Structure 1
């Protein structure tokens, strides 16, 4: 009986590598089950994608369902805070995405396009409120980790007509819920209590953007360098402007067109063939322990190969 019968070859494919002219990101939603994705079919298609390419910040706004398990009073409170906060009006974010300062730019909790009810919405058949005042989106945020030597290389695989097409992934980004609405609530009271003595106007004064002077005493030079690098990164994050993108649902015709255009080659016969830079023997040497010639133990590795090559040349001669 042939030993290979226990491990038969079921199928084989030609493998093709696509080009890297576009960026491909894999988003991981750590608190979201795979059975409940963020898409149009589930009623939670993301509203907007924001990125800071130089510093690697990513934010995705996803809609919040206001018709089930939703606290209207808190939704109004947080929504009003986001509308009045300086950061929301500037179109930026709090937290790390804004450099950990309230004067940076941030994601607004935003108004989502509504169908049907016009300017008012009935929640739980008890309250009629202005939907523009409700917190209707939840930002999810993460950061693109700069690639380092030794990091794994991820590929996206597509099968077509018996061929396997591999596309390199630019980065894997883990997204976590961001609590910008809490930062906005903390900011609002400061604006309301800031009034001038001579001004009798009842309008709350705008909270002023103030530079934050951070003084850190490090015990070691290494820690000082690390802290300095972190402060420099936060400064760059705060200064970089967001780039916004529309979110295209995976089931739309536009998404399928992009998939067909950038995830596979339509003329694989025109592609050049890859050639290995090493032979089979060199590959085995690279992944195995050093080989030793039993007849001459002092000869190992390269010396052993040279000795065997001379023996073969003598036999051929």
Structure 2
């Protein structure tokens, strides 16, 4: 600014960039709705989204008791859509049109210049928008009405024209068989660019059900807090010098095109790396290298990078295997990716790669035959996955690229503990997908536990040391499994063995009944009186349980433990929740926040477990909630008709069908015409 300028700066504010909601933040516009007449007060029946296409569909209830509602027209529309169906699958659950749909259409294609700003504490927080959508009413039910009309006309036709045509026998004609030519590249390009193909690809993406929360609800308020950038996010945005930043703002003419090196796509330029935010730098390095030690990662980053900020970034894009960081499968295989060898989708590749990484957390050596027998992927894809993180050694199978990083283990034990819990949850999911039964697990563990004993008397030249210090044959391709690890840990009582286990400890998947993997937690009486149990810890547990119970209303103990494990995964290192929380403490906290333990009936042949629910929220529907939960004490499933009848008998007044359906949807899962309590439906289905 010139010295003689009479327009001085009056006030300066900091502008921070928040990316917590950047990938999921949509701006919705309602061009056919006046601004003073919103949809906030209308009951939202359901909502679903297609993230890849950025498409949203919302189902809204229609007030059929309003004086502005034409009942005759509503009944006629329902009759046209559903026809004369008295039962079965109906579009409308009543005899009149009682719901409408809003469907989104894209408004802007380039979203790089739009953001949502929140001004607080003399700072402007900006969050980039992922999409701007316009919500308009959808009239797809009219197409259903036309289809029903055509079907009814065909069913009621006399068929005279058809019978006359049947009487005329057609003359036999020769048929010429033609073989299709091989599709050329130009024809394939036109087919892939055609409207029919693009529409088919859009229809293949499944709808994802989401829960609608009003603008004044606690869940919406907590999500809006993510619009505020944290201190770490603000620091991590700029990792370049002021002169380099000035050059980026005002580049010289033609300099950008000349500076781009002609390199392959799999080569990363360190000069371009310095211009990226820290999170993008970590992502780019791990995507190219696949496996890195933490010390190597810090060496590749700009000098002076904070290790704690790097740890937070690396946990977003990588997982810990043998003390080293391996890029996540969903980062390496994003949605829409297909294998160049076999065309296998990204979903199957991610599951197979996750299983390979889990096997490497148990042992530094695996065999391709054992891996392929479980994940069922083509040989080329299995080899591709193994080459990313291991190397082939004669008589050893595939060995992990690096030795166990004991330095990282000693410096960051809380990160090691959190990653173990993540692998514990991931392994349970993999067992369900690959259908690994308990018998197969036990058989596999028994086999791995016997091999060290059989080879104990072999010569030293044919023996090697495992991570736990025990020796097995060099010619054995089997890996150290869970049972072998447990047996070694139980036998290692001497100080020398303890030290060995601490430096080269494999990440085992435990089967403890407690949330943490530090061994059995102390009883509730000891935990409550322990000096290590601070008020901060109790407050954090109370807030966590309260948030989950008030948002889900019904929770099983296993689901609560799983949510708590995910909560620990996103907590920063050294968080108070990582000090150890028992199942009993979680159960008692549920009662403290207002939940009750249900005495509900369980379906036959379904293992029972503690089930908790929020029976009272302080509104006028509390009596209906109590009646609903009491009905499950004598039956494991009910119908909406029986619920209406019970409420009318107890309270003397009949509630609306919309209210009953809303309560059933909040506390239950529907299957056909019956409703199961949440938590018991998964076992039945």
- Calculate the TM-score normalised by the size of structure 1: 0.56
Q: Contact 1:58–1:144 at 8 Å: present in 2 too?
A: no
Is structure 2 residue 31 aligned with structure 1 residue 30? yes
Does the C-alpha gap of structure 1 residues 47 and 71 become closer, same or farther in structure 2, counting only changes over 3 Å?
Answer: same
Does the C-alpha gap of structure 1 residues 286 and 177 become closer, same or farther in structure 2, counting only changes over 3 Å?
Answer: farther
Displacement of 1:139: 1.1
Instruction: Tell me the residue number matched to 2:70.
Output: 71
- Give unmatched runs, 5+ long, in structure 2: 159-185, 254-685
Does the C-alpha gap of structure 1 residues 71 and 14 become closer, same or farther in structure 2, counting only changes over 3 Å?
Answer: same
Q: Contact 1:51–1:59 at 8 Å: present in 2 too?
A: yes
Distance 2:52 2:249 in 1: 38
SS of match in other structure, 2:236: coil
Equivalent pairs, count: 218
Structure with the bigger percentage of strand = 1
Displacement of 1:279: 5.7
Does the C-alpha gap of structure 1 residues 228 and 163 become closer, same or farther in structure 2, counting only changes over 3 Å?
Answer: closer
Does the C-alpha gap of structure 1 residues 267 and 58 become closer, same or farther in structure 2, counting only changes over 3 Å?
Answer: same
Instruction: Tell me the residue number matched to 1:232.
Output: 197
Q: Contact 2:18–2:230 at 8 Å: present in 1 too?
A: no
Distance 2:28 2:205 in 1: 22
Structure with the bigger percentage of helix = 2
Displacement of 1:156: 0.9
Is structure 2 residue 161 aligned with structure 1 residue 160? no
Displacement of 1:155: 0.8
Larger RCO, structures 1/2 (Cα 8 Å, 6+ apart): 1
Instruction: Tell me the residue number matched to 2:227.
Output: 263
Instruction: Tell me the residue number matched to 1:170.
Output: 130
Displacement of 1:173: 0.9
Instruction: Tell me the residue number matched to 2:11.
Output: 11
**Out of 91, 98, 106, which is 1:136 matched to?**
98
Equivalent positions of 1:90-109 (< 5 A) are 108=91
Does the C-alpha gap of structure 1 residues 134 and 10 become closer, same or farther in structure 2, counting only changes over 3 Å?
Answer: farther
Displacement of 1:133: 2.0
Is structure 2 residue 54 aligned with structure 1 residue 50? no
C-alpha RMSD of the superposition: 3.8
Distance 1:196 1:136 in 2: 29
Distance 1:11 1:84 in 2: 67
Distance 2:11 2:232 in 1: 19
Does the C-alpha gap of structure 1 residues 3 and 186 become closer, same or farther in structure 2, counting only changes over 3 Å?
Answer: farther
SS of match in other structure, 1:236: helix
Distance 2:248 2:233 in 1: 30
Does the C-alpha gap of structure 1 residues 59 and 270 become closer, same or farther in structure 2, counting only changes over 3 Å?
Answer: closer
Distance 1:277 1:75 in 2: 68
Distance 1:68 1:8 in 2: 61
SS of match in other structure, 2:155: coil
Q: Contact 2:31–2:134 at 8 Å: present in 1 too?
A: yes
Q: Contact 2:17–2:233 at 8 Å: present in 1 too?
A: no
Displacement of 1:241: 2.6
SS of match in other structure, 1:232: helix
Instruction: Tell me the residue number matched to 2:148.
Output: 188
Displacement of 1:53: 2.8
Does the C-alpha gap of structure 1 residues 135 and 235 become closer, same or farther in structure 2, counting only changes over 3 Å?
Answer: same
Does the C-alpha gap of structure 1 residues 282 and 140 become closer, same or farther in structure 2, counting only changes over 3 Å?
Answer: closer
SS of match in other structure, 1:32: coil
SS of match in other structure, 1:135: coil
Does the C-alpha gap of structure 1 residues 279 and 251 become closer, same or farther in structure 2, counting only changes over 3 Å?
Answer: closer
